């Protein structure tokens, strides 16, 4: 599975720290390191420009000689949620496989409903108020709250609670992810990627 990561508008070093933490969580918790490829949107590409994001992904796809049905999952942070949502929808309309979308903050942005979508918020208000725009398939909020950029820079230090949506239109097998579970954000991300990478993840 290809994991497309769309950062926000911030120093690129923060994304380096996020990716390093995510790679460690994947490698230590699950035997899926070889199954996942993390593609990070370059700093030069505006994270809110889905056409540019789509062109970049298509070019990498051709270079990697991937099969058309290779699944993708999209991770967006802040302004990057704008590009991730739009690019994932376009990718799906073009025949690509989208297993899910994970938004870190991106307050006020609806995530759509054509694939499983999850939200991680740096505080309870951000995560829960975004649910008013259309319930996600599960959300996480930091408790205690952390800074907006801290959620991205140090997800391994951002602890909080996971709230799955039992009424999700996707029949997700979330396994070890229990309601009100206290977990740090990067371990939650790694578990969500494991769930989404499973061939029997969900049906609609």
Whether 157 is in a domain gets the answer: yes
Starting from the edge strand earliest in sequence, which strands make up the sheet with 117-121, in order?
37-40, 2-6, 71-77, 97-104, 117-121, 138-142, 159-164, 181-184
Instruction: Output the pLDDT for position 203.
Output: 47
* CATH code of residue 71: 3.40.50
The domain total for the chain is 1
- Tell me the pLDDT tens digit for each residue of 38-71: 999 999 999 999 999 999 999 999 999 999 889 9
User: Are the CB atoms for 4 and 73 separated by under 8 Å?
Assistant: yes
Nearest to 121 by CA among 144, 100, 101, 148: 148
For the whole model, what pTM was predicted? 0.93
Whether 203 is in a domain gets the answer: no
Instruction: Output the pLDDT for position 136.
Output: 85
Whether 204 is in a domain gets the answer: no
Q: Which residue range(s) make up the domain with 85?
A: 2-197
Grouped pLDDT means (10 residues each) for the chain, 204 residues: 96 97 86 77 94 96 93 96 94 94 86 86 90 82 96 97 82 69 91 81 48
């Amino acid at each position: 599975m290809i994991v497309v990561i769309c950062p926000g508008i911030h120093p690129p070093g923060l994304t380096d720290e996020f990716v390093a933490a995510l790679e460690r969580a994947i490698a230590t918790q699950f035997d899926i390191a070889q199954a996942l490829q993390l593609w990070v949107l370059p700093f030069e590409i505006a994270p809110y420009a889905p056409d540019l994001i789509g062109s970049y992904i298509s070019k990498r796809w051709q270079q990697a000689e991937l099969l058309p049905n290779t699944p993708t999952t999209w991770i967006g942070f802040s302004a990057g949620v704008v590009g991730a949502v739009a690019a994932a929808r376009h990718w799906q309309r073009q025949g690509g496989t989208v297993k899910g979308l994970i938004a870190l903050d991106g307050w006020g942005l609806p995530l759509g409903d054509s694939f499983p979508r999850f939200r991680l918020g740096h505080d309870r208000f951000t995560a829960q108020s975004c649910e008013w725009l259309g319930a996600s398939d599960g959300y996480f909020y930091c408790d205690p709250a952390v800074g907006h950029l801290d959620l991205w820079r140090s997800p391994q230090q951002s602890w909080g609670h996971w709230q799955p949506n039992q009424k999700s239109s996707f029949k997700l097998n979330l396994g070890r992810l229990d309601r009100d579970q206290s977990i740090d954000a990067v371990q939650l991300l790694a578990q969500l990627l494991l769930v989404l990478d499973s061939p029997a993840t969900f049906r609609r």
